């Protein structure tokens, strides 16, 4: 299936967003050869800054294949941001409602039309103290196993240095200029899941495979080794409560 044309609204978004990105940041784009030239596909991207969707979108826009992001439904309702999201074909996610499945269907439809759908499998900004990816949610794996579309892992680093996640003070650290590094890798090998029912265990294993590919790319980008066990905020909270209870019992 041929690629979908970028369209007026996406080009307008690029005209607005690219100049400040070019002025404020250096760029180190890697692995663009792994972005498919034709047909539908999925990208699975780590998430470590409110700025990194712009960094990643800039990277992929330059390949000629624009991403369709899944974004919180509330952002689509009004204002300039809502107008741009609606007209550039982004996909609203209605969390914890009867309409939540609509995002899944919209993602499948977009891929079958030959588009790219971008997932942040972690579902939120990483809470890992050292900025490594957390365990992922199963949405990207579910869509991948249904559509058989290639899953391209993407690691990014640099936007978090300019705008750290959850920072309360000195939120913007633009100078000296930071380098936005975005690296795509070869498609994740999910062949061992072919023909299997998408049970919770299968989806969990496929998701872990995708997250491992993203983490390996980020290790390459950072020149560091990730922890053997991904940071799980729920487990960390349970551990914190356990220690607090033990302290209180003394």
Instruction: Give per-residue pLDDT as tens, 7-17.
Output: 787 888 888 88
| pLDDT value of position 8 | 81
Which residues are paired to 30 by β-bridges? 183
- Residue 192 pLDDT more than 90? yes
- Residue 4 pLDDT more than 70? no
Task: Provide the CATH number for the domain around residue 12.
Answer: 3.40.1130.10
Identify which of 71, 66, 74, 56 has the alpha carbon closest to the alpha carbon of residue 36.
66
Q: Structural domain of residue 203, as residue ranges?
A: 8-249
Q: Residue holding tokens 């978090």?
A: 160
pTM of the model: 0.89
- Residue 242 pLDDT more than 80? no
The better pLDDT of the pair 73, 137 is held by 137
The better pLDDT of the pair 246, 93 is held by 93
Residues with Cβ within 8 Å of residue 90, at least 6 apart in sequence:
68, 69, 70, 71, 76
Which pLDDT band holds residue 122 (cuts at 50, 70, 90)?
A: very high
Which pLDDT band holds residue 169 (cuts at 50, 70, 90)?
A: low
Residue 2 in any domain: the answer is no
Contact between 68 and 6 under an 8 Å Cβ cutoff? The reply is: no
The better pLDDT of the pair 197, 3 is held by 197
Cα separation values, 105 from 18, 55, 139, Å:
31, 27, 11
CB-facing half-sphere around the CA of 52: CA atoms within 13 A: 25
**Which range has the worst mean pLDDT, 71-85, 199-213, 214-228?**
71-85
Residue 1 in any domain: the answer is no
Overall average pLDDT of the 224-231 stretch: 94
| pLDDT value of position 182 | 97
Query: Cα(45)–Cα(218) distance, rounded to whole angstroms?
Result: 10
Number of structural domains, the chain? 1
| pLDDT value of position 95 | 64
Residues with Cβ within 8 Å of residue 138, at least 6 apart in sequence:
200, 203, 204, 206, 207
Other Cβ atoms within 10 Å of 31 Cβ, number? 18
Which residues are paired to 98 by β-bridges? none
Residue 3 in any domain: the answer is no
- Residue 69 pLDDT more than 80? yes
């Amino acid at each position: 299936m041929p690629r979908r044309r970028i369209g007026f609204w996406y080009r307008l978004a690029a005209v607005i967003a690219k100049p400040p990105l070019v002025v404020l940041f250096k760029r180190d784009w890697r692995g663009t050869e792994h972005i498919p030239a034709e047909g539908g596909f999925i990208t699975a991207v780590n998430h470590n800054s409110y700025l990194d969707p712009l960094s990643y979108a800039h990277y992929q826009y330059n390949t000629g294949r624009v991403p369709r992001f899944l974004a919180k439904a509330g952002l689509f309702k009004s204002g300039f941001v809502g107008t741009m999201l609606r007209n550039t074909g982004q996909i609203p996610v209605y969390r914890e409602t009867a309409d939540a499945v609509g995002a899944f269907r919209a993602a499948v439809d977009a891929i079958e039309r030959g588009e790219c759908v971008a997932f942040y499998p972690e579902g939120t900004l990483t809470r890992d103290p050292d900025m490594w990816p957390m365990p992922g949610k199963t949405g990207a794996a579910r869509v991948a196993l249904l559509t058989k579309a290639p899953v391209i892992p993407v690691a990014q680093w640099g936007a978090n240095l300019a705008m750290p996640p959850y920072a309360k003070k000195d939120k913007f650290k633009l100078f000296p200029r930071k380098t936005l590094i975005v690296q795509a890798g070869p498609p994740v090998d999910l062949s061992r899941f072919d023909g299997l029912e998408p049970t919770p265990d299968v989806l969990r294993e496929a998701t872990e495979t995708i997250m491992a590919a993203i983490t390996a790319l980020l290790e390459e980008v950072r020149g560091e080794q990730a922890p053997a066990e991904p940071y799980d905020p729920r487990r960390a909270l349970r551990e914190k409560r356990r220690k607090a209870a033990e302290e209180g019992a003394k």
